[in-house]
Every structure is written in C-alpha cells, then in structure tokens.
Amino acid sequence: MPNRSSTIRNVLYQATVGRRLPAMARKVVLRVVGGRGHRSDHVRWAESKATDMDQVMNEVDSPLWREAQVAAARIQVEAKHKLSQYPIHLGGGGCYPLIYFVARKLKPGVAVETGVAAGFSFYATLLGLEENGSGVLFSSDLPYFRIPHPEQYVGVLVPEDLRGRWRLSIDGDRRNIPKILEQVSCIDFIHYDSDKSYRERKWAMEHLMPLTNEGCVVIMDDIQDDSYFSELVSGMSDWHVFKFEGKYLGVIGLGRLSESLDHTEGAERCPPPLL
C-alpha cells in the first residue's frame, strides 16, 4: 500500500488531469460534510424492508437463478486468483449473482452501470450479455485517485473476450453520464454503484431515469448509507431490498421480469449502438 507521501503525490497527479479534478473535489467535500440524516436510521429502514433474495429470485425463474449462482461462483474463483496478484486492495463488487440474473432475464439492449473498481458486477453483466448474444454495457467510473496509475486497475477482472460489448468512461459520473446519454436512445438496465452520497445519487438518477425503457430494472447498492432509495421508491409498488455480503441493495422492476418477460422471449428492448 502507498505511504502518506506517495498518496499525496498520487492525488496531486490525478488532480492535474483536468477532467477529474471537479469529481475528486466533490468526493472530498461530500465525505467531510456527510449525508442526510443518521446512517443508523437508514440501516434500520433497509433491514426492516429486506426480503430473502433466494426466495424471490426462485419465484421469478428458478433455473436461471441456479445458472446465475454458477456464474457468480466462476467470477468469485477467477477474482480471487487475479486480485491476489495485485499489491493493493481493490474492494469487492456489487451483487453479481443478481446482476447476472437480470442481464440474462431482461436481455437489455442498453445497460448502464456506475462504479467499476475491479469489475465484479461488470463482469457479471458482460457475461450475461455475451450469453444472450446481444446488448452493450456503458460504464462510468472515477479511478481511485490515492494510488499510482489507478487507470490500470479499472475493470481488471473483465476478460478480454467480453470487452467488445463494453464502453468505459473514467472521468466521473458528471462527465461520463452526459457522454453516455448522447450515445443511446433509451436504457433497459441501470446499476448504480458509484458515489454513495445522497446528492450524487440524485444527480445521476435524475439524468438516467428519463431515458429508461418501460421494462427497465434498476439496482442501487449500499442503500443503507442515506435516504435516497427510500425516497425514490416512496409511492412505488414494484421494489425490493436485499442483503448481500453485509450491505443492502435496492431493486426496482423485478416484478416486470416475472409478469411480462420469459427467459427465452424478451419484450422489446432498446436498440444497442453498433459494436
């Protein structure tokens, strides 16, 4: 791990990359000022709303859920081997069994995910798209600016043979998302796993949601950190909260999968850009 002086050098170097300085500054400020309300209240809300993920997913499509668990085990084994080769901790991933399941079941033409890091969830999405034989994933990330040359670690878990369906931007959501929206006409699947502050969640979703397809599924990680997800789903009926690896995620639209889609016959999806 880098020591304090090297960390400062890394931060200053990344700050000279003009595209990233505003995003870096926002992250620092939001970390200092904190979020809305008390985190303990948000944790209690998420805990009170959480349901059993295995039960829900088996009700939607039991054979596909078993397939998703096999895919997740593959990702986990490969990740353990690959990440052991790096001298720094790159963090964990989103709920990649669920993400693979949604990618396979929904068959999105256009998927948008934020917060790449090592790429657990992005591997799951791309693997699902490849199995489907269609779809493009647009990713937004801001590399860890406290370590040297952080760009080299973004999405390291994603195999080369899956990257043809991947469009990656690494200048922070506020620069990346407008660029993504210029390239798509609608969105079938959103996975939000970047800046966990209320303010940045709100900004991202206010830009992404207007382009969502009628059957879009939304997954948001770490909803126990603030009240954004609970406010977002207030008045909605089709949403779930699940617990995965000690944290909570919120999902909107799972009911659409069981009601209107078949594992082999998807509803009309967004036209993906040419690969």
Q: How confident is the prediction along the chain (275 residues), in pLDDT tens digits per residue?
A: 454 544 444 444 445 555 655 654 554 454 545 556 689 999 999 999 999 999 999 999 999 999 999 999 999 999 888 888 877 766 667 899 999 999 999 999 999 999 988 889 999 999 999 999 999 999 999 886 556 566 677 888 999 999 999 999 999 999 999 999 999 999 999 999 999 999 999 999 999 999 999 899 999 999 999 999 999 999 999 999 999 999 999 999 999 887 644 444 446 899 988 77
Question: Checking DSSP bridges between strand 247-252 and strand 212-221, what pairing results, if any?
Answer: antiparallel
Can you say whether the dihedral through the CA atoms of 227, 232, 233, 234 is positive or negative?
positive
265 domain-assigned: no
Please give the residue range of the domain that contains residue 175: 4-260
49 domain-assigned: yes
Q: In sequence order, what are the beta bridge partners of 240?
A: 251
Return the CATH number at 192. Answer: 3.40.50.150
Kindly provide the b/e burial profile for residues 194-218, where b requires at least 16 CB atoms within 10 angstroms of the residue's own CB: bbbbbbbbebbbeebeebbbebbbb
Q: What pLDDT was estimated at residue 94?
A: 84
Q: What pLDDT was estimated at residue 12?
A: 47
Q: Domain count of the chain?
A: 1
Q: What pLDDT was estimated at residue 89?
A: 67
78 domain-assigned: yes
Q: What pLDDT was estimated at residue 54?
A: 97
Stated pTM of the model: 0.84
270 domain-assigned: no
57 domain-assigned: yes
How far apart CA 208 and CA 178 sit, in angstroms, is: 9
171 domain-assigned: yes
Q: What pLDDT was estimated at residue 33?
A: 52
273 domain-assigned: no
